Amino acid sequence: MATSYLIETERLIIKPFSEKYLTKRYVSWLNDPSVVRFSDQRHRKHTLKSCREYMKSFKKSPHYFWAIIAKDKSLGHIGNMNAYVDSVHKTSDLGILLGERLALGHGYGLEAWTAVCEYLLKKGMRKITAGTLSVNVKMIHLMKKASMIPDGIRTKQCIFEGSEVNLVYRALYKKRIKTYNA
């Protein structure tokens, strides 16, 4: 895993994911259809072992895997983020999972997302990307609120609940760019 330091916001601490966060609660998020409804995680059965292997896959890589911890002790570990880094092109593809139901709808996702974007840009990334299913309205809203701009569409790329749906991408650049409609 790339060396990452603690990222702190007003209500969150975002720190490298560790064995401490490999809990039955965490695994239950990944196996909860409502939590992973829009994620490819919905196609897998997760265990502590599979989650440990995923965590280990970040070791000795340029990628990041963080735990999102609410400063509100009653919430604690509320989710995770990952960033897949392409060091050559100075890009990073970002993902987020908020699993703690009590944390949903309070802006924690946007707060974590913008803090991690800022961190990655300061670490030398020139472009941060993210993609989601076109039916994932909340994620698209989060990306827009984080000032990410359209970065492409893969038409009918995925099957979601029996229907073909688009995969939409958005991006955030270190330097503002002028966009053109092709």
- Indicate the number of domains in the chain: 1
Structural domain boundaries enclosing 79? 7-130
Q: What is the pLDDT of residues 76-112, one digit of tens each?
A: 999 999 999 999 999 999 999 999 999 999 999 999 9
Residue 175 lies in a domain: no
| CATH classification of the domain holding 89 | 3.40.630.30
Residue 139 lies in a domain: no
Residue 90 lies in a domain: yes
Q: What is the pLDDT of residues 3-57, one digit of tens each?
A: 667 999 999 999 999 999 999 999 999 999 988 898 888 888 999 999 999 999 9
> Which residue type does 40 have?
D
Please give the Cα distance from 113 to 118 (Å, whole number).
Answer: 9
Provide the pairing of β-strand 64-70 with 91-98. unpaired
Residue 123 lies in a domain: yes
Burial of 93 by CB count in 10 Å (0-12 exposed, 13-18 middle, 19+ buried)? middle
User: 173 to each of 47, 61, 130, 177, how far by Cα in Å?
Assistant: 36, 23, 12, 7
